[in-house]
Structure 1
Amino acid sequence: MTYSSNGFKTFLRNERKSNGEAYSNNTVSQYVSAVNRAAHHAGFDLWSSQSEEVDNFVQKFEPGHEFEEFGAQGNNTVISALRLLKRYFASSNSYLLTWNPEKYHVGGNSGVELGNEQQWSCNSTKPQVGDRVYLMQVGVEPRGIIAAGIVTQESFEDKDWGDETKTRKYIKFKPVAVRNTPEAGQQILNQLNQLSQETGINYSWSPQSSGISIPNKISDKLASYWFIEDSLVEEISMTNNSTTQVSQPLNQILFGPPGTGKTFTTIERAVRAAEPNFSWANRDELKAKYQELIREGRIRFVTFHQSFSYEDFVEGLTAHTDDEKLVYEKRLGIFRQIVRDAKEHQNTEVKNPTNSFSDCWDAFLTEFEDHPEGVQISMKRSKFIITEVDGNTIRFDKNQGDSVNTLSVSTLEAIFNGERRFNGGLKPYYQSLISHLESLGEQLDKKAVKRQNYVLIIDEINRGNISRIFGELITLIEPSKRSGTTEALEVTLPLTGDRFSVPDNLYIIGTMNTADRSLAGLDLALRRRFDFIEMPPLPEELKGVSVDGINVEKMLDVINRRITALLDKDHCIGHAYFIHLKDRSDVALTDLAEIFKQKIIPLLQEYFFEDWQRIRWVLNDQSKASANAFIVKDDAINFDELFPGDVQLNSRDRWRLNESAFEQATSYKRIYEVGSAE
């Protein structure tokens, strides 16, 4: 089995506590961090070890043993995590379920849907609740895996679906990912067949029985292709995603150091959330769809920063001059705007829908353009004429008097949608205008409202003051509290007095650079309501990338291990800085030099606050010949010449970049080739 921290995360997410509850995302992160800290404390190479070695390693943290005190940290969090780690290394919880559409005409991917529990024949009684299963099409081409899921009910007997006079063994599982046709699964099989050859395991992907166990050494690799909550950037989903549907959480935050592909992955996840059935053949098609959804307003983007506020995000006041008078108007923030639009497309198709405010308002604006002199609105005993519409302001003339009178478009919309009651002196004008809008709506062609998903991307979500920005709305974004659910909640907004709720077709995707701020310091209210998806550096994504004999994968891995030892894993360097070298045939040393000069060295300067000595350690400059060191002492400064006479000056070392080192392949190789100085 290929053991990894991501694989351990998957294992923990599938595990259950003694009371049957699942581990929370925060607990999963804590446990993974705990085992990594324990391995570092003991000097143990955890993820390349075997099950027996891990047993001995864990034993050292048990009461009465060498690292007992360390194991008791965090109210025994460390030892609890290590005990689960033993189970992970001993587990083989993956099985193949088969489906031959020529022989069996029921079942198969035509009946498998995300989130809907499936009953499937399984001759083995070994699969337990929480184990992983994969549904594989056999007997016809293309062979391939068409669904992955988690076992929800262990082996039981029921009537044979083909012959009710007999019985058959079944299990139940809940799909987490489905491919409508097996072509993408076939691509996975090609890779796994190659992996089988590398590991020396003669494993057949054409099982004759349903419920065949998958060997440990390849089951984790298979999981990485299907269970995207492991935070792995799936190359398959990027290059051949014509058939993939993936269930996503309503609230998620991608976090990791710079250059780990957070923005790259956000585009995919946003498109998946907005259009779950959309397929693409390459990255260009994905980005084109992303831009199309942005133009339609179904994907919107905002960046948090230190001065970003509730008034910017939800609602606030904006000031402007009108006839040399200062006027304050209520303004909807980006969150209220996208909530409003999402609500209009929250419900599934209906036969006789009520026209939305936006439809009626558009009809009114068309009417207003056709009547430049103004639109007359009838009241019970009088009338008024709308003379101007400017942004959020509606200006009108009363039947009597010369005063300037205004209405607010946002207030009009809130009253129209039943979100606000208005009892002021302008109430008759609002009511009359709403009646006029409704009459315009009745003349519009009746069209069904189709449910559509909306996505709000919040970049740098950790840089804003979450309590200040979300305010009382932090509770409303919980999936169970969204409108459309049985536990739906709504609040009354303090500024406008509108009743407000968040619909269940609005996805929120945040990104967070851990080099800017630690995850531990993030607002706890936010952490409870979001799924946190780690985006770690993946040097293995650079496998095979060589520049003048420089192993880029190994170089990045060594750099990050040194940064982790000197700082922490939140300040590592992402593989994305080098990823463009992967697909180029004409890559040269000058390309690598540019990356180091423009990206890597400035990033290290920021991480270590200009501590050049430590930066030298990261780059192994202390072990290189001076000609190959990226950072060398600056001997150009002569203190005796600059400060003549009896001056007591404690001069410190001065450093400079050695430009010639960037042009030598040896300078980069010696980052990971440890030995005596040349």
Structure 2
Amino acid sequence: MSQDIDYTRITQQHVLDAVKKIEDESITLEPSTKFDVVINGKSYPPKEIMRYANLLANGVKEWSLSGGEPTNRYLKAWGFEIVGKDEAPKAVTEYELTGNVFKLGCFWGTGNPNSFYEMIKSRSIVIGVNHKLYRPGDLVIITEGFTVYAIAKVISETTTVTDDPGLEIEFAKYQIEYDDYVNTAQAEWYELEKDDIFEYSERKGICRVNNYHIRNLALNLWKDRFINYWIFQGDPTEFDFGRAVHDDVLYDWTVTAHKDKIKTGDKVILWLTGKRAGCYALARITSPPEEKDNSPDSHLWKNEPKASLKAGIELTHALTGNPLLWQKIKDTNGLEEMKVGHRGTNFSATKKQYKILLNMVEKANQNMSAKIDLFINTILYGPPGTGKTYRLNEYKDEYFTDRGVSISPEDALRNKVPSFPLWKVLAAVIHASKEPIGITELIQHPLVSAKLNPANKTDPYNQIWNSLHSYADDDSTQLDNSLRRSIKLFHKEDKNKWTIAEDKVTELSDIIGQEIIDIATNPLTAPVRDVTSKTRFNFITFHQKYSYEDFIEGIKPVLKDDEFDDVGDGNLQFELKKGIFYNSCLEALRLADYETFNECYSDSVINRNSKFEAAKNLPSKQFALFIDEINRANISAVFGELITLLEDDKRIGEENEMWIELPYSNEKFCVPPNLYVIGTMNTADRSIALLDIALRRRFEFKALYPEYQEGQWWAALLEALNAAIYNWKKNPDFFIGHAFFINKQPADLTRILNTKIIPLLYEYCQNNTDAVKKILSDAGVNTKPTGIKENFQIVAE
């Protein structure tokens, strides 16, 4: 060992920084002969790693110790895995994290807080106390004041400070009081980049992080710390990128460079060259580069692709209709050095560049939705086949679908958690906490919050209390046996804290399912959040038996596999269920930043009006309820007293805002002004004149009648058919629509007439064959008997 070099100055962080340097600079390493060290799931020669770690620590790229144990012992001490050359490294997965996050503040002793920070960083350790013991796999956010500068992962069991004489010297140096209750653990440190540094307003020096947004921010930053960022570039004259996105066949991208560094989870900027050069999508890597002879988009290449090595990708933000053109963004601070426009397919990018483009995309999406050219309450009406449902689908796609957005973690939970009963949710959360937990803490957990029904008359505390005691063991509850379930899952500790009963811990995944356990471990990141589109609508088809209780709210029996899926005593359970109209109003309310109607009602009029005025002016803040066949239900019975609240001037924030109290829940309720109610009705079923007068007064009506498209083979026949129908019925409500013929060939005519048109005419004519025959004859359609004895109907020839 060189006399002027102190190898003891090398820390775990120097090793991690050395790996980053090697990867960033594509440094070629001299391979080892017997052992490799596994860092971040990848194998490296141990001596080479130590040479570069020494370069960073002491300024000299030298390592004089021999290979094998003399070198490996340093790396083992920092928690890195050493494997033989013929061994596969252990899988490195995110499940190594416990999900626990602690805070460690650096205002200790009389020294500069930065001194304490640098001391524990240089030693790659974290400091704790006995009553908050760290475990391997815990994360610790390191703060100075309220600012979080680093995250550390605990990689060893804790020992007391008094067991480490060197650490005692450091504590004495900064006049830090300590005793056997102060402990330390080895940790893998990650210093945050400037753009990732965040604030956590907690004054306690060492504490568990119970703020779930901060907790999940820390977990996500940790998991993403080694993600690479790439630019994948394409030439639109060689590959039809727009068609590939439209047809949903873009699942991989050609790789000609960095093939050994591109890995699953990396993030990608998809860039097209040419006159309209720019960013056309953002994506993630779904599989590392591999040889592929064929891809779903192979037919979209103008020429045979020169390379067959491809990485799997998934679009997270598609921008084909509104790309970020280089001409407009090239002067943006932070994008000046982007490696675009050069010859080649794959280039490295930076996290900053990706985040700048992501922010641009998300900001643009706030204003990308089309201006809604509809009255707030609209009914599309017309005879069969005139495109009413087709028009609804157009409205969904054009006005109420956002593309290239990320669904929020909270929304992802709301979508996921309804399929799990409350007792399973509570069990998963208690299990994930790793220590006894009280009802107040349970209420604050995002998974429980997403599950609790805000309209339930029972307050959240009592809902949880009832569920815990219903599934508690015999020592933990005084609840009558008739109200308890056969599964005795929960156990109450001292101070009203709850745990999983000891005899149920090992079989918990069999009882409640592994999926909900995984979600509870990391609730705000477990569901997939990045999506290519997000819808802002609900859809329902009315029928004759549809009721107020289905549409607004009602008391419904609890079915098996629902809230109490272990009904051992045979007693039927009931609960308050919200209908699709209530839920649609709630979704519109949330787009205006209210979580519940009670929260909105309790807010000041000025705040309420301001929020909804802003929401009304943003297309992306509008929600829709689409009601197909709206005339099939008894409108007065379905809407009840809420028919008045549909009026545009009775909605929240409007001149005559009207709040009512719902009959079952006694909840305050009013219809938000950013909710569109759009229905369809078939005039062959019921004329507009027969519609409920209260409904007619509150809706605008848009007529859709047959379109005789000039030049189409069927146009003249359809017009003749409808003329014959009008001569008989004297009413256009019974016309035949053009949708029966769209995208059909002349050879399909007989089939269309016999399977679509003639059965409809028989319905119109109440099975009067002579009337049907005359309509067809007047339209120039030849007919013949069916050939079935005593079947007096006809078919087209």
Quick check: TM above 0.5?
no
Asked which structure has the greater CA Rg, the reply is 2
TM-score by length of 1: 0.39
TM-score by length of 2: 0.33
RCO (CA 8 Å, sep 6+): is it higher in 1 or 2?
1
